[in-house]
Structure 1
Amino acid sequence: MRALFVLTPSESKRLIGKAVASLPAVKEALEHDRILIGHGSTNVYVIEEILGKEKAAALWSRDRYVSGILTRGFLCPSEAKDKPPILVLNRGKVEPPAPTMVEMLRDFGAKSVFIKGANAVDGEGNAAVLVANPEGGTIGYSLGMILARGIRLIAPVGLEKMIPSVKQALGVCGQQTFDYCQGLRVGMIPMPGATVVTEIAALKTLFGIQSFHVASGGTGGSEGSVALVAEGEEGALRAAIGLIESIKGEPPLRPVKETCLVCAPASPAQPKGVPVTQAGKRCMYAGKKDEEIPAYLRKR
C-alpha cells in the first residue's frame, strides 16, 4: 500500500515527538536513568509526549520553552522573561535546575539521553545547531561531555530544515565572519553520532514503514510543509494514516521574540557569574528602541 502525507511544521513536530518518546533508549532512560531535553520548538512536543501534555503544561508555558528563533525574517532570541530552565529528568522525575551544564550532566553516563533539536539536517543524516552565544550555548557547553562519556545524543529535526550539506554549511558559518547579518550573528556546531529523528525516521520507528521526502513548501499557514510518500503493509499504513489524521491541525507555537533594546544571546547552560565574551555587536539592531528599528521587527 502507498500513501502521500502532507505535514505542516507543527504536525511534523508532533509526529517526531511521538517517535522520540517511543525510542527504546528514551524509554530505558526514563525508567532507569537520566534525560536532558534542551530548549527548542520540536523539543516542546518531545516533552509533551514523554511527560504527557497536562504534566508538561503544569511545568511551564509551551511557548516559552524555546531559545533562538527564526522570526520576522531575522535570527532572534526568544524573550528571556519567564524562560524555563533546561529540563532534566531523573528516572522520570523532574530534577531541580542546576546552574551550569557541568552540574546538569554530572551523573550522566552511557545509558543517559541528551535530546537537542537541530537547525539543519542533510541527506546523509548529519545534523547541526546554530549558536549565537560566543561560548557555544547549550550544545557547545555539553558536546565534549556527551562524546567523552558516550551519552546518547538524539536530534529531533523536521525535514523543513533540510539543507544540501551540513559539512558545507559548517565551512561558511561563524559569528565573527559576517560583514552583514540579518539578526544575531551565529556559528554552527555539528552533532556527530546523534540519532537523527526526522519525519521519515519517525514513520519507520512508529510503524515500520518506508517513506520518501518528495516536496516541500506551502503558503497560507502551511509554509514549511513537507510531502512524504509512504509505503508498507496495509495494516501498518492504515495505522499511520490514523495517527497522521489525528494530528492534522496541530497549532503552531507562539514564542515571543526578545525586544531589540535588551537583546543578548545568553545561554541557559552558561556558567553563572561568567560574562559572555564580548565579540562586538551581535545584531545591527541590538540595543535600539522600537522607533529605531524597521516596522517588521517591532511586532513581537
Structure 2
Amino acid sequence: MQLERAFLVLTPYESRRVIAKAVSQLTDVQEALKNGWIIVATGSTNGYVAEELLGSPIVKENFISGHITQGETWNTPGNPDFIFPIVLYKGVRQDMRAEQALEQFGPGDVFIKGANAVDHQGHAAVFMAHQAGGTIGSALGTLYARGAKLIIPVGLEKMIPSVTEAVKHSGNRSYAHTTGSPVGMMPIVNAIVVTEIQALTDLFAVQAYHIGSGGIAGSEGAVSLVLEGGREAVKKAFDFIQTIKGEKPLQRPNGVPKQ
C-alpha cells in the first residue's frame, strides 16, 4: 500500500475537540457507558469531553477550575454558575458529587482528568494549587487501589521536555515569587494518555507526527501535524479536520477580573 500524507495545523481548541471525540470512543469509555461509572473532572479539555459524552453543549468556561489565563495561574474563581465534575452511571448523568461516585468505583470504571504537562515518553502531570492536591490528589489512591481506568486527555501544546525532571523542581510552598497561584505537580503513571497523535490514530487508523508548534494572532499554542496512511484513511481524517476548523476559543471564566 502506498502511503499518502496530509499536513494540517490545529489550534488548541480544535485539538481539544479532536481529543474529546477520540476519548469518547475509547473501548474503556464505551464499556463504562454501558455498564459502569464515569467521572469527568473539571478542566478546559474535559469540557469538550463532557460535551461528547453528554451529546449536548455545555458552557465550557463554567467547567474550569484551576487554569491559566492572562499570563497567570488561577485557582477556582467565585463563579455562581460553576459546573461540578460530571458523573455518569450506565450513561445517565447523576445528581451527585464525584467523591460519592468514586466510592462506588471498581476495575471497569473510568476517571477522566486533564493535565498541564505531557512529555515525549507519554508521561503526564497535573498542577496542584490546593494544599492537599485537589481533585487528582484525592482521587489517585482510590483509582490505583481498585484498578480503575484513568484517562488523561492532553494537547501537545502542553509538551515539556521531561515530566520526571519538572516534578523535582515544583511545589506550591517552595517558590519565592510567582505569577498567579503557586503549584506543585502530580506525575501520573499507568494512565491512558490521549494527545492529538493518539486521537487521530485511534479515530482514523493513520499515523500522526508532531512536526511543529506555535503561531500568532489567535493561533498561539497551535500544533502542526503530518498524517500518513492509506489514501482513504488520510482523506477521511483530513475531511474530518475541516469540519472542526474554527472551533470557538474559550473565554475568561466568570470571576476572573479583566486586566
Same fold (TM over 0.5): yes
- Aligned residues between the structures: 255
SS in 2 for 1:168: helix
Amino acid at match of 1:123: H
Written as runs of structure 1 = structure 2, the 5 A alignment for 1:1-300 is: 1-53=4-56, 56-57=57-58, 61-81=59-79, 82-98=81-97, 101=99, 103-256=100-253, 258-259=255-256, 298-299=257-258
Cα deviation 1:7-45 (Å, max 9, x = unaligned): 000000000000000101000101111100000010111
TM-score, scaled relative to structure 2: 0.95
- CA distance in 2 between partners of 1:166 and 1:85 (Å): 28
Name the amino acid aligned to 1:115: I
Per the TM alignment, residue 253 of structure 1 is displaced from its structure 2 partner at its CA by 1.5
| Cα separation, 2, equivalents of 1:48 and 1:235 | 28
- How far does the alpha carbon of each residue in 1:230-262 deviate from its partner, in whole angstroms, 9 at most, with x for none? 100011111101110000000011232645xxx
Deviation at 1:78, TM superposition (A): 4.1
Describe the superposition over 1:110-165 as per-residue Cα deviations: whole angstroms up to 9, x where unpaired: 00000000000000000010010001000000000111111100000000000000
Judged with a 3 Å threshold, the aligned counterparts in structure 2 of structure 1 residues 255 and 90 are, in CA distance, closer, same or farther, namely farther
What CA distance in whole angstroms lies between the structure 1 residues aligned with 2:208 and 2:238?
13
* Contact 1:78–1:257, Cα closer than 8 Å, also in 2: no
> In structure 2, how many angstroms separate the alpha carbons of the residues matched to 1:106 and 1:232?
43
Displaced runs of 4 or more, over 4 A: none
Q: Deviations over 1:257-281 (max 9, x none)?
A: 645xxxxxxxxxxxxxxxxxxxxxx
TM-score of the aligned structures, taking structure 1 as reference length: 0.83
Q: For structure 1, which runs of at least 5 residues remain unmatched after alignment? A: 260-297
Percent of matched pairs sharing the same residue: 47
Quick one: which amino acid aligns to residue 222 of structure 1?
S
Q: Unpaired runs of 5+ in structure 2?
A: none
CA–CA distance in 1 between the matches of 2:252 and 2:94? Answer: 24
Conservation of the 8 A alpha-carbon contact between 2:64 and 2:253: no
Aligned partners of 1:126 and 1:190 also within 8 Å: yes
Does the 8 A contact of 1:66 with 1:255 survive in 2? no
